[in-house]
A = this chain, B = another copy of it.
């Protein structure tokens, strides 16, 4: 199956962002990059299918593409950023660029960000630091959609954790990028677009009963009924560790919203006209804080290789390191084009028609 080329999808996405969403060029470029990278890596939950959601959020006054993020407070090891409800990927890139500069000087840097917006795949920002040879981390809160252990009300977001650790070889970077519930909300949207039932154990309805209908789940999170939603990693209750997933989600919430004095996930997207209130937390540190960076990277690489080589489960012939599947998917996309699902293709066709492309 032949897909659309990376460059063509980038160019089309840029046109849509600039013409349909009136993004200034610099903001359109970084946003298009995050969307196309996600599709190229097979993470369609964070790809160009998000465009209508971005457009809607902008129309409602949650995103102000003309605004600029500002540094409100700075120490040698930290930054406090006010995103001024600008475009999420632009704010994330702005912040991580500054973090990398400061980390190269002082050894480490942490940043809190308030009043931002959806910044695409969290992993891209952690990876940005790792491509500069640093350990990188990126966290964000989101729209409320997850139930805490013993709760039935959506309180926390899918609050992803992204951590990237370089190993000296670009193709052997550890890149963890995980939503803290069983699955990211974008995955539900993929099932919805494809009208497929979701596996049992991902979500529950407003009565706490298993919910496998992705369309209903998608509608649920848009209603004013605040009950029912995603289960955190480990599922319902405590037996299989659901309280641990909830703990990770809450940790991300406190790092993002708590430290930035910004809105918690249960208060984002509440005031049309005044920004969504999404908050982030970023960080990076240098490997040579801990000794010779080349030896450390080589040690990390050998640990990853030992794990790859370890004995496989019956029926499996490969053990993956985090980030590896997406890296290989991307290589294939660069060779054979990016394959989009039918709903996304239709969506792009609609935009093309409208923009007369």
**Taking the complex as formed, is A330 at the interface, i.e. its CB lies under 8 A from any CB of chain B?**
no
Q: B254 touching A165 by the CB < 8 A rule?
A: yes
**Taking the complex as formed, is A186 at the interface, i.e. its CB lies under 8 A from any CB of chain B?**
no
**Taking the complex as formed, is A234 at the interface, i.e. its CB lies under 8 A from any CB of chain B?**
yes
A112 CB contacts on chain B under 8 angstroms:
290
By beta carbon, the residue of chain B nearest A183 is B241
Q: Cα distance A163–B137 when bound, in Å? A: 15
Contact of A264 among B234, B290, B303 (CB under 8 A): B303
A223 CB contacts on chain B under 8 angstroms:
none
Q: Cα distance A234–B207 when bound, in Å? A: 23
Q: A303 touching B253 by the CB < 8 A rule?
A: yes
Q: Cα distance A106–B182 when bound, in Å? A: 38
Range, interface on chain A: 35 or more
A287 CB contacts on chain B under 8 angstroms:
259
**Taking the complex as formed, is A178 at the interface, i.e. its CB lies under 8 A from any CB of chain B?**
yes
Q: A73 touching B235 by the CB < 8 A rule?
A: no
Q: A290 touching B80 by the CB < 8 A rule?
A: yes
Q: B148 touching A199 by the CB < 8 A rule?
A: no
A311 CB contacts on chain B under 8 angstroms:
151-153, 226-227
Q: B107 touching A149 by the CB < 8 A rule?
A: no
**Taking the complex as formed, is A219 at the interface, i.e. its CB lies under 8 A from any CB of chain B?**
no
The proximity string for A residues 153-191 relative to B, scoring 1 for CB distances below 8 Å and 0 otherwise, is: 101100001010100000000101010001100000000
**Taking the complex as formed, is A329 at the interface, i.e. its CB lies under 8 A from any CB of chain B?**
no
**Taking the complex as formed, is A48 at the interface, i.e. its CB lies under 8 A from any CB of chain B?**
no
**Taking the complex as formed, is A43 at the interface, i.e. its CB lies under 8 A from any CB of chain B?**
no
The proximity string for A residues 315-352 relative to B, scoring 1 for CB distances below 8 Å and 0 otherwise, is: 01011111000000000000000000000000000000
Q: A289 touching B239 by the CB < 8 A rule?
A: no
A235 CB contacts on chain B under 8 angstroms:
240
A291 CB contacts on chain B under 8 angstroms:
73, 80, 261
Q: B107 touching A319 by the CB < 8 A rule?
A: no
Q: Which of A6-14, A60-68, A88-96, A294-302 contacts B (4 or more CB under 8 A)?
A: A294-302
A257 CB contacts on chain B under 8 angstroms:
299, 303
A303 CB contacts on chain B under 8 angstroms:
253-254, 257-258, 264
Q: B251 touching A174 by the CB < 8 A rule?
A: yes
Minimal beta-carbon separation of A323 from chain B (angstroms): 9
9 of the cross-chain contacts (CB-CB < 8 Å) are A76-B106, A77-B108, A80-B289, A80-B291, A149-B319, A150-B316, A174-B254, A201-B239, A207-B314
